Copies of this chain bind each other. A is one copy, B any other.
């Protein structure tokens, strides 16, 4: 019942209701799925931007600069910093967040960090749900920043509409390591700290890799490479050209000085326009919703077994027998599953 108040609060853009709703969702407290279910019809307006890349690449600085640029365009921005390796979450800001202090007091900006602990059914699922709350609240842009480029980060980044991969000249050989997975999901490549030695070489390297990727999966189209992009937009394609195939952009930035940020804003807008015009936005979102439904089913079953049900007790009681060989993992698993069946399912949703 008190969650009805939350629903109204969010629809009326009240920040305290937003903070409460996010905590409710993040901690999986009573009624969180009912709230998300009620918010669902209001989700789908925000452009979700994932920023991923190795530690030290300048992702936080870039997120801050993007936020400032969007605010100058009068767009509201939510930033979620996701750290799959950290047990800390919720209201507590990550160390890096402090750097975002220039925008932290702006009422058109909401900053939140999330961590693995307490994420029911996985951090990717949980992050998707917090984004849904922010989307229903009415934020124009949602920036999802992950700390690294591991499997968990990739799963999170794959839920954005647009994925940005940030590299730095120092990562150098690192790109070889990143190849699998990360390269595939990125729509825009940033070479940050583009004023340093090796930036040009790194851009070339990404360029070659993208050429290979394109040659592989699609017709071969050379990516739009803007080698001396800082301050120059002459090599960017005109934004009214809507091609069916998105040609990944490679941009140079110096995030600490805000250089290259207008070009990034433009590339993000171009990608979003492309997603809309090509119908891919609809496809990506439908896939995201299907993935989410599957994840919710798995989480519901897991909760029924291990939290609401007797699963943990039956497991603990049965392990001695399994170790001694008196019973088997399979018979014990059957007992646990049968226990859920006897306990029945709750149909309150």
B336 near A347: Cβ-Cβ < 8 Å: no
Given B43, B325, B334, which contacts A300 in the complex, CB threshold below 8 Å? B334
Query: Given the complex, which residues of B lie within 8 Å of A174, measured CB to CB?
Result: 177
Q: Which secondary structure dominates where chain A touches chain B?
A: helix
A36 near B330: Cβ-Cβ < 8 Å: yes
Contacts A173-B173, A301-B301, A330-B36 hold; do A315 and B294 have CB atoms under 8 A apart? yes
At the interface, yes or no: A286 with Cβ under 8 Å from chain B?
yes
A91 to chain B, nearest CB (A): 25
Query: Given the complex, which residues of B lie within 8 Å of A330, measured CB to CB?
Result: 33-34, 36-37, 40, 296, 349
1/0 per residue A124-157: CB within 8 Å of B? 0000000000000000000000000011000000
At the interface, yes or no: A226 with Cβ under 8 Å from chain B?
no
A56 to chain B, nearest CB (A): 13
At the interface, yes or no: A94 with Cβ under 8 Å from chain B?
no
Closest to A54 in B: B177
Query: Given the complex, which residues of B lie within 8 Å of A151, measured CB to CB?
Result: 150-151
Query: Given the complex, which residues of B lie within 8 Å of A102, measured CB to CB?
Result: none
Chain A contact residue count (CB 8 A cutoff) = 55
Given B297, B322, B329, which contacts A336 in the complex, CB threshold below 8 Å? B297
A111 to chain B, nearest CB (A): 26
Given B180, B334, B340, B349, which contacts A349 in the complex, CB threshold below 8 Å? B334
Q: Which A residues form the contact surface with B (CB < 8 A)?
A: 33-34, 36-38, 40-44, 150-151, 173-174, 177, 180, 282, 285-286, 289-290, 292-294, 296-298, 300-302, 304-305, 311, 315, 318-319, 322-323, 325, 328-334, 336-338, 340-341, 344-345, 347, 349
